[in-house]
Amino acid sequence: MKKLLILFTFVIFSYACMAQAPRIALSKSASLQPPRKMRKAEKQELSSLANTRFSKAKSLSRLIEGLQDKVYLVDDIVVLVNSGNATKEKGLLASLQRASDASGLNSKGYASKIEKIAGKDVFVIDHETEGLKLYRFTLVNPNEDFVVTGFVEYKPGQEVKARKVLEDLVKGFKFD
């Protein structure tokens, strides 16, 4: 009976470990525990996205083609995640918001705010650009010298699902 209990515990533990996707290293300074169902987009899918869904959105199409290894899919929602060093600046998110608001006021459906998601300050822009609906996001590490940026692109009517993807994504970010 004791051996059976140990075997059962081992099997349950094994399934639990398999269910968790490995962390994605964004750099030496940040990593991501991907949300459920998030997977890296394959080259064929990226080509199809660039030629169909993003065909009218030239800037986003070029971005996806240039950062192919940073494009993911959650069902039919497109996620791009990028990271890099930033010039250390106190209040960087607020500064980014002011700059974005100054240039984005005429965009269709533009809204921006700095909000807390999973205990992290996140600058989120919800807008439509070149016919596509996007949540753009920016997170800054505590030292304010490293940023994680990206977008969640979704179709009209998927706002709730896309917002959940964004929140799950932010929950998975970890600054090292």
Nearest-angstrom CA–CA distance, 108 and 68: 27
Measured on CA atoms in the order 25, 82, 87, 146, is the torsion positive or negative? negative
Task: Give the percent of the chain with pLDDT over 90.
Answer: 55
Q: Quick check: 77 and 151 in contact, CB under 8 A?
A: no
Architecture of domain 23-175: 3-Layer(aba) Sandwich (3.40)
Q: What is the pLDDT of residues 116-159, one digit of tens each?
A: 999 999 999 999 888 789 999 999 999 999 999 999 999 888 99
How far, in Å, CA of 50 to CA of 64, rounded? 7
- Going from N- to C-terminal start, the domains of the chain cover 23-175
The mean per-residue pLDDT over the stretch 58-71 comes to: 86
Beta-strand pair 24-25/30-32:
antiparallel
Please report the pLDDT score of residue 20 as a whole number: 53
User: How far is residue 130's CA from residue 38's CA, in Å, rounded to a whole number?
Assistant: 25
Return the pLDDT at 105: 61
Output 91 or 5, whichever has higher pLDDT. Answer: 91
Give the contacts of 95 (CB within 8 A, at least 6 positions apart).
Answer: 89
The band of 29, judged by pLDDT with boundaries at 50, 70 and 90, is confident
- pLDDT band at 48; cut points 50, 70, 90: confident
